[in-house]
């Protein structure tokens, strides 16, 4: 299926450009190049899926953050939207190597905020979660509400305003599952947080996700296993969100976090003991553990944006290596990691032990050599 870019008028002089050619073939490469020409950094998505293409084998085997990755500067697509680019040469190389890739757009670097409306069959939540923070009078019947289109329209109806899904001033994209993506040019301060429709405290509405900084979206014209994402109407450029929608984004905390950082998280006693042992220089393995514990502990000084998951995976993998070499027991390493993680990220306390266990096991299969070197 081709991508109709709606080029007309003064744009006709650009027929030789990438954007003017993209609607003729509908190839994934043309879609990606068109997005890049709009100034939207693109990255490959897995063929037929909405998720980013997989990392290379090295990045899968040795967990690390995007900032530490050597593949991205080398021109690879590892780490999903972190590798997104507007460089036509790099984009062309990616899709020439894998022509079946779909195209994803990195919202934050593109200066975009997306309203992702779902239409999935699901039980109706409690009234206070339909539009979080808005009291719905008991006299309002809710039996007909079935999906995100209804929950997005409800606050507008209560205020006598237009349904946001009908906003024809901006780029709108129909998804194969029956949903809708509303593309907006982000206003200042609407790029930091990305609460989703499952977040009862900061969701825009039930089954309505917000994607901005730290998120990505499938480009119009991209085909998944369910079908093709298709642009609606003639508009192909994101407009600033209208005042009523911008106010809702502000009300639901889609804005920068407070500038003042929270107080530093104290290092747990077991972790502190490991650090003291390391400072005494008695054992390379203990120094290794102390280093990885420190990186995890530092994540407790900020609520987000620290790359916590990547750092935890890297810490557990690194801690597993001296365990595999017999220079440290799992009873020394695992409890210290679990305790430190629980204090740095209390909400992930249930998941962390499993992550630590599996990633330490992977690290133990690549033990340190007898000299403690990597």
Edge-to-edge strand list for the sheet holding 42-45: 42-45, 102-106, 216-218
pLDDT at 144: 73
Task: Tell me what pLDDT residue 13 has.
Answer: 36
Q: How far apart are CA 213 and CA 305, in angstroms?
A: 10
The whole-number pLDDT of residue 23 equals 41
* 374, HSE (Cβ side, Cα atoms, 13 Å): 7
Q: Cα angle at 44 between 233 and 254, to 5 degrees?
A: 65
**Among candidates 345, 288, 271, which has minimal Cα distance to 312?**
345
CA proximity to 42, closest of 110, 99, 89: 110
Mean pLDDT, 10 residues at a time, the chain of 374 residues: 37 36 65 92 92 85 82 89 92 92 91 88 74 72 78 77 86 92 80 49 75 87 90 90 77 50 46 47 62 72 62 82 79 77 68 79 76 49
């Amino acid at each position: 299926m081709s991508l109709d870019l709606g080029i007309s008028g003064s744009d006709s002089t650009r027929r030789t450009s990438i954007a003017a050619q993209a609607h003729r073939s509908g190839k994934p490469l043309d879609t990606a190049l068109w997005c890049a020409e709009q100034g939207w950094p693109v990255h490959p998505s897995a063929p037929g899926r909405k998720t980013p293409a997989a990392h290379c084998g090295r990045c899968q085997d040795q967990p690390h953050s995007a900032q530490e990755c050597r593949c991205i500067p080398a021109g690879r697509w590892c780490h999903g939207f972190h590798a997104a680019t507007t460089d036509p040469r790099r984009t062309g190389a990616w899709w020439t190597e894998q022509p079946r890739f779909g195209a994803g757009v990195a919202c934050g670097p593109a200066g975009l905020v997306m309203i992702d409306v779902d239409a999935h069959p699901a039980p109706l939540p409690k009234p206070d979660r339909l539009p979080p923070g808005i009291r719905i009078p008991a006299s309002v019947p809710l039996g007909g509400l079935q999906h995100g289109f209804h929950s997005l329209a409800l606050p507008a109806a209560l205020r006598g305003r237009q349904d946001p899904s009908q906003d024809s001033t901006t780029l709108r994209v129909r998804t194969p599952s029956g949903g809708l993506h509303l593309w907006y040019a982000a206003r200042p301060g609407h790029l930091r947080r990305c609460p989703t429709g499952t977040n009862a405290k900061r969701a825009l509405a039930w089954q309505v996700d917000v994607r901005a900084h730290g998120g990505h979206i499938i480009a119009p014209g991209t085909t998944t296993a369910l079908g093709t994402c298709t642009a609606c109407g003639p508009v192909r450029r994101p407009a600033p969100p209208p005042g009523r929608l911008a106010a809702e984004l502000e009300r639901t905390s889609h804005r920068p976090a407070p500038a003042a950082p929270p107080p530093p998280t104290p290092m747990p006693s077991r972790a502190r003991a490991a650090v003291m042992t390391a400072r005494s220089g008695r054992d390379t393995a203990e120094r290794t553990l102390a280093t990885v514990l420190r990186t995890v502990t530092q994540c407790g000084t900020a609520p987000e944006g620290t790359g916590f998951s990547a750092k935890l995976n890297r810490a557990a993998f690194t801690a597993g290596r001296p365990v595999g070499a017999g220079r440290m027991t799992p009873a020394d390493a695992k409890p210290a990691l679990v305790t430190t993680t629980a204090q740095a990220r209390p909400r992930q306390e249930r998941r962390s032990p499993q992550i630590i266990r599996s990633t330490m096991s992977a690290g133990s299969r690549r033990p340190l050599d007898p000299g403690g070197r990597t």
